Amino acid sequence: MAKKGLYDNINAKRMRIKQGSGEKMRKPGSKGAPTAANFKQAAKTAAPTAKRVAKKAAPTAKRVAKKAKKS
């Protein structure tokens, strides 16, 4: 199984906090908090979301017009 990523860890902590764990999110810039570089790296390695995949596969007006010309 793949290693959990930054956003998985953030979401897991938010869920624990919501359930009453007593934990708190770290403030930006504090020791141990994710840096801007961490978020940039996470964005590079992110799996494509369903929304991005659907947007990429959706026919654009240009493609539709081109297809209509061919038929």
Q: Is the residue at 31 inside a domain?
A: yes
Number of domains in the chain: 1
Q: Is the residue at 10 inside a domain?
A: yes
Mean of the per-residue pLDDT values of the chain? 83
pLDDT tens column, 6-35: 989 999 999 999 999 999 999 999 999 999
Stated pTM of the model: 0.58
Q: What is the mean pLDDT of residues 46-56?
A: 67
Q: Is the residue at 1 inside a domain?
A: no
DSSP-assigned letters across all residues of 24-47: -PPPTTSTTSPPHHHHHHHHHTPP
Q: How high is the pLDDT of residue 68?
A: 79
Percent of the chain surpassing pLDDT 90: 45
Write the CB contacts of 45 (distance below 8 Å, at least 6 apart in sequence). Answer: 5
